[in-house]
């Protein structure tokens, strides 16, 4: 019997739906960001307004965007990493609702993604796995084991660019942050939002001489386990490697 899970997803997330959302029922909304371990020292990132990058024409960036899987052995600076994080998930304001206003669109300003970073080659940053605290604009260590790159590489169908990139961005959804407002329809919005985020990375990378390779192929159970995610309430949706480009 043919697998129909894909079309089932489309059919079961159609509008209209009869369910009343948790938001409409007056249930409290989930936090705007996952908590971090208070015993871990946070890593300061340069503030976005202090970072200067070369001017980049938007049309040139759009027309020049292409997948880059081969990188030169040159590290990213913390300034450059901070700039990329700001462009992809930077928090510009927190409103009274409350929601975060960021540099990418999100359905209902739900912004359900947490950004994890596999740092391979960043100046003044120990290699390992980190999470970006977008509201504080800081990093918190997740796992600094020396074999983290190898483990992510194996979980991601042994794609070589994961081992040679300066950083791999990994975007994980906190599903209830979206479904609290939109019920099952919210799952569609998670995947739409992921595209907005990755495109910002692709375009912002060009101005600092970097290339990007978007990654959607990975063993879900393995990559979620590496990040400490349960795979249902929180799960990886998308990833991307980035590094200094050969051209």
Residue-range domain boundaries for the chain: 40-244
DSSP string, 38-72: TTSPPEE---GGG-------HHHHHHH--B---B-
CB 42 within 8 A of CB 138: yes
pTM of the predicted protein model: 0.97
Block means of pLDDT (10 residues each) for the chain, 247 residues, are 92 86 96 94 94 93 95 97 98 96 98 98 98 98 94 98 98 98 96 98 97 98 98 98 88
Q: Sort 108 into a burial class: Cβ within 10 Å, 0-12 / 13-18 / 19+.
A: middle
pLDDT value of position 247: 61
Query: What is 40-244's CATH number?
Result: 3.40.109.10
pLDDT value of position 145: 87
pLDDT value of position 16: 80
pLDDT value of position 175: 98
- Helix axes 186-206 and 78-89, enclosed angle (nearest 10): 140
């Amino acid at each position: 019997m043919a697998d129909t899970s894909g079309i089932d997803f489309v059919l079961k997330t159609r509008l209209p739906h009869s369910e009343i959302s948790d938001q409409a029922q007056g249930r409290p909304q989930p936090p705007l960001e996952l908590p971090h371990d208070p015993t871990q020292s946070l890593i300061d990132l340069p503030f976005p307004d202090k970072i200067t990058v070369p001017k980049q024409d938007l049309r040139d960036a759009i027309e020049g965007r292409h997948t880059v899987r081969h990188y030169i052995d040159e590290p990213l600076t913390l300034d450059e990493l901070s700039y990329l994080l700001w462009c992809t998930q930077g928090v510009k304001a927190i409103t009274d609702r409350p929601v975060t206003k960021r540099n990418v669109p999100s359905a209902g300003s739900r912004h359900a993604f947490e950004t994890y970073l596999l740092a391979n080659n960043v100046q003044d940053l120990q290699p390992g796995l980190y999470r970006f605290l977008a509201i504080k604009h800081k990093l918190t260590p997740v796992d600094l084991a020396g074999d983290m790159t190898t483990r992510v590489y194996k979980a991601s169908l042994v794609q070589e660019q994961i081992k040679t990139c300066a950083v791999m961005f990994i975007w994980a959804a906190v599903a209830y942050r979206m479904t609290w407002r939109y019920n099952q329809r919210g799952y569609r919005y998670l995947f739409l939002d992921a595209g907005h985020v990755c495109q910002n990375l692709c375009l912002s990378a060009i101005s600092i001489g970097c290339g990007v390779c978007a990654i959607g192929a990975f063993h879900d159970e393995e990559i979620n386990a590496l990040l400490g995610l349960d795979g249902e309430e929180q799960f990886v949706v998308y990833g991307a490697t980035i590094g200094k480009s050969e051209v």
